Chains A and B, each alone.
Chain A
Amino acid sequence: MSKSALSPEMRKAVVRFSGDSGDGMQLTGDMFSQASGQAGLDLTTTPDFPAEIRAPQGSVGGVSSFQIQIGGTEIYTPGDQVDVLVVMNPAALKANIHYLKAGGTIIADKDSFNPRNLKKADYDTNPLEDGSLEDYHIIRAPATSLTREALKDLGLENQAMARSKNMFALGVVSYIFSRPLANPKAFIQKKFASKPVLIDANIRALEAGFSFAESTELFGASIVIPPAKLPKGNYRNIDGNTAVAWGLLAAAENCGRKLSLCSYPITPATEILQELSARKDLGAIVFQAEDEIAAVCAAIGAAFCGNLSATTTSGPGASLKSEAMGLAIISEIPLVMVNVQRAGPSTGIPTKTEQSDLYQSLHGRHGEAPLVVLAASSPDDCFFYSYTAAKIAIEHSTPVIMLSDSYLASGTSPWRIPENGELPDIKIPRFRKPAEEWKPYMRDPEFLNRYWMSPGDKGFEHRIGGLEKKEITGNLTYEPLNHEKMTRIREEKIERIAKKLPKQKVIGAQSGKLIVLGWGSTHGAINMAVSELIEDGEDNVGFTHFNYIKPLPENTEEILSKFDRILVCELNNGQFVNYLRSKFPKFNYLQFNKIQGQPFFISEIKAEIINTLTQ
């Protein structure tokens, strides 16, 4: 047996559960996340689903995986490389072995490595036996047979018994990381409350896995990762799409308006529509439209009528909505569009992540059509940025595009539930004097927003629309100078929002040779890479990460001016770097781009930084 990469002193670890789609790996991963969060660890997770809805059982195409990094320090990514790989069948091994660290641990259900399954995964010989895995630490666990043994007197069919073997795997992993079983047991009891026999079955399988690990002493001592120092409060795990939905709900509640969500199903944004469809209990008005265009148009109608209105989509849908976004811009009404980006163009790779809709968000409309663009950087802060998108939209009478992506949408991280009163107020711009003194295109003198007067407000009847409007009165006009003036006002209105934004912060060196820069969902990997370099003694590198893309924070130029070179890392062909080049042309930009439908690895960013520093 080769040496184990696991050691009792580990301060963080990456575990990957993988099996056939039917093996319940997502649930297993979720339960392990819950238990780890409960134990005070920080964590980030990411699922990896098969692209096909029903891939053949046992095939490599049908493998479903769930990766989690847990740690006693801040954890921002699900981890580059895996310490513990759980494989429920040969296909899962084949699909995932390349994620495993040299010396990493494989926990395999050895019962499922039978000739039939080996053949489905294209193995000529059994990899658990043929020596091909000798660089790793292999635990050959008879998961299927021990689960069956534990469940034998429950009167379940073979298939039903087999469905519990994921709990066996969870039991093994729980033992390795010293997770008590109380949390998963409570979870099982709740989940199967209506089927007591399944409670029994799952708990027995869980215990069987735990005892197997304990009694076989294959692991040496189990690992105790001490809790992370997280701010105090109530926590839960949340994925990016749920966080977006909840941010919108919170914004609607805080400003006292109803939420209208008008969307069309599209991967990977659909869960937002689904979650809010289930949130009628909190008054969400949800419209599943006949197409993407109807969705955004309905949201515009709802916004004019005084609701907090949002439409959620992904790149191709955002393309379809672009004409209507222009209408929202010229009529200056509050509207949130969430774009959960995926690899494009066209259908592209719909389930994979990319940051390639930045140009579209900034520029993808005809005419001079400025709006606000924000980007979230972790699953849990999708909550804050969708809340903030709503706040800015309402306070500044403008459409706001909030960018998430496939990686954030389905990944999870612990989210500290905000305390009452913690979220910033949303102040609705209402005209407080008599209606007779009001004109539809009057503006707040400081921020230039219009006032949000809606059907039901007596005496404020007015018309909005796509035609150019006379300043102040809102009457139709084609006057040349008025059009120029209105165009400038619309741009200026967006730029003035920067006054309200938090200052951009730099981690590490505040000036020097190199600043590493990212935006949106790449925060975790870049942050970890730079932090590790700083820990290693590198004191010439700073890091700054953008969530506010348009307008940029006011001190952006000042920050960039303090470094010799700027390395912009993004999952596209250089969209943010070119945006910065056009805004601040005098600086020396370098770019690091990855366009593989995959998030950054910490290691590749680190290597790029080191490489840049030595050039």
Chain B
Amino acid sequence: MQTDVTENNTVLTRKDFVSDQAVRWCPGCGDFMILANMQKAFANMNHKKEHFLSVSGIGCSSRITYYLDTYGIHSIHGRAIAVATGAKLANPELNVWVFTGDGDCMAIGGNHFIHACRRNADINIIIFNNKIYGMTKGQSSPTTPVGLKTKTAPEGSYEIPFNIGEVAIGAGATFFARVPDNDHALMEDVMMQAYHHKGTSVIEVLQNCVIFTDGIHDQITGRDTRSDNQLILEHGKPMVFGSENKMGLRVDGMRLLKHELENGTGQTLEHDAAETDSQMHLALAKMQLPEFPVAMGVIRKVEINTYSESVHQAIASAKKRTSFKSVKDLFLSGNTWEIE
């Protein structure tokens, strides 16, 4: 997204994005943290307030549009991305944010999701991944892990789940990032990077649902385990993790391997989020416990022409070429005749 500096340099604060509606998530829900960080990030974007648009689908996550004091559309289940695409094309100046969940986005809205990744319209998608249907009270979602007992899989889920990053990058996303819901600094940073990214940005937030999947991300996000179990990626920096950054990654044949670093950083890979070839980004996005740490931060960030730019460039050049100044010129072009 191109920066659209506020007129008269009106400085916006987090409060400017807090709506007057009471927030109704379960106390302790990870959604609160996403809301707070989003409001902070919005304030830092230096974008005219009237050009923010929040779009959501249906589910716990999607209530967020009512809590953000921006233009907003709380649409229908699975369709937020389609609504947002139409909006962005209609007015390319808008700073468009889609809020969706693992059910909303990866199940009923899956088609729109892959096409948004492919098209690269300049919209930002935040997926609240709690691996369950919260609002309908506990059914399996496309990211529910194998073995998890849910109301629709009482004997434990046996469906193979989606890895959101794999789907996104596989479908051509130019920006994919992952953050835990409890790392505020990283979340805000990733949101800002998504804002500055030209193209579809996908952010997966590992979000805790205190009611139905409480603690499902704990192994990754827990205070004691996170340094070993998260690899926080930074463009141009070596991939190190673990206490005192003792662990690194290397390539062995066709596979990634984690290994202990001997004295220093020399033997680990360096992160290149801007590499157009998506193979390494896919491999990073797919890393899972226990073999690997889970990759966090911006995994992929590649700039190409965006769909919204291409559409408007095509319109601009068609207008330049044509002799039509108005619809009347079109109507009178070709074979017409006059009756006196």
Interface on A for B, CB 8 Å cutoff? 34, 37-38, 40, 187, 227, 230-237, 246, 249-250, 253, 258, 260, 262, 279-287, 289-291, 293-295, 297-302, 304-307, 309, 323-324, 326-327, 331, 417-418, 420, 454-467, 475-476
Chain B interface (Cβ within 8 Å of chain A)? 19, 21, 48-55, 58, 65-66, 69-76, 79, 82-91, 93-94, 111-112, 115, 311-312, 314-315, 318-319, 321-322, 324, 326-328, 330-332, 334-340
Cα A306 to Cα B93 with chains together (Å) = 13
Assuming A232-B339, A246-B331, is B49 touching A461 (CB within 8 A)? yes
State which of B79, B334, B339 has its C-beta within 8 Å of the C-beta of A297. B79
Tell me if A's interface is mostly helix, strand, loop or mixed. Answer: mixed
Q: Are B328 and A456 in contact (CB under 8 A)?
A: no
| Cβ–Cβ < 8 Å partners of B51 in chain A | 455-456
- Check A234 against B332 for contact (C-beta < 8 Å): yes
**What residues of chain A lie closer than 8 Å to B58, measured between beta carbons?**
466
Q: Residues of A contacting B90 with CB < 8 Å?
A: 258, 260, 285, 301-302, 305-307, 309
| Given A232-B340, A279-B330, A293-B82; A285-B89 close (CB under 8 Å) | yes
**Complex CA distance for A279 and B331, rounded to whole angstroms:** 12
Known contacts A260-B86, A327-B76, A417-B336; A236/B331 CB under 8 A: yes
Please determine whether B337 and A302 come into contact, CB atoms closer than 8 angstroms.
no
With a CB–CB cut-off of 8 A, which chain A residues contact B52? Answer: 455, 461
A-B contact count (CB 8 A): 204
Jot down 25 A-B pairs with beta carbons below 8 A, ordered by A.
Answer: A232-B340, A258-B90, A262-B86, A282-B319, A282-B322, A285-B90, A286-B311, A293-B79, A294-B82, A294-B115, A297-B79, A297-B112, A302-B87, A304-B83, A309-B86, A324-B79, A331-B73, A418-B331, A455-B52, A461-B69, A461-B70, A462-B71, A463-B73, A463-B74, A465-B75
Query: Which residue of chain A is the closest to B323 with respect to CB atoms?
Result: A281
What is the CA–CA distance of A461 and B75 in the complex, to the nearest angstrom?
16
Residue ID in chain B nearest A467 by CB atoms: B74
Output the nearest chain A residue to B317 by Cβ-Cβ distance: A280
- A289 with B338: CB separation less than 8 A: no
Closest to A417 in B: B331
Most chain A Cβ neighbours within 10 Å, of B53, B58, B324 = B53
Chain A residue numbers with a CB within 8 Å of B340 are 232
Partner of B111, one of A294, A301, A454: A294
- Within the complex, what minimum Cβ distance (angstroms) separates B214 from chain A? 27
- Of listed A187, A299, A304, residue having the most chain B CB within 10 A: A304
Which of A279, A287, A459, A464 has a CB less than 8 Å from the CB of B73?
A464
Contact A282 B86 (CB under 8 A): no
B10 → A minimal CB distance (Å): 10
* Chain B contacts for A293, CB-based, 8 A: 79, 82
Whether B335 lies near A290 (C-beta < 8 A) is no
Contact among B49, B83, B321 with A301 in the assembled complex (CB-CB below 8 Å): B83
CA distance A513 to B278 in the complex (A): 76
Cα(A465)–Cα(B94), bound, Å: 19
The docked-state distance in angstroms from the alpha carbon of A284 to that of B314 is: 10
A234 touching B336, Cβ below 8 Å: yes
Instruction: Collect the chain A residues with CB atoms within 8 Å of residue B112's CB.
Output: 290, 294, 297
- Nearest residue (CB) in B for A333 is B73
Q: Once bound together, how far apart are the Cα atoms of A281 and B324, in whole Å?
A: 7
**In the bound complex, do residue A466 and residue B76 qualify as a contact, i.e. CB atoms below 8 Å apart?**
yes
A298's partner among B86, B314, B328 (CB-CB below 8 A) is B86
Ranked 6 nearest A-B pairs via Cβ: A298-B86, A465-B74, A301-B86, A301-B87, A281-B322, A297-B82
The listed residue (B71, B72, B84) touching A454 by CB distance below 8 A is B71
Please give me the residue from chain A that is nearest to B94 by CB atom. Answer: A455
Residue from A249, A250, A262, A465 with most neighbouring chain B CB atoms (10 Å): A465
A227 CA / B339 CA spacing, docked (Å): 10
* Contact (Cβ within 8 A) A234 B85: no
Please determine whether A301 and B55 come into contact, CB atoms closer than 8 angstroms. yes
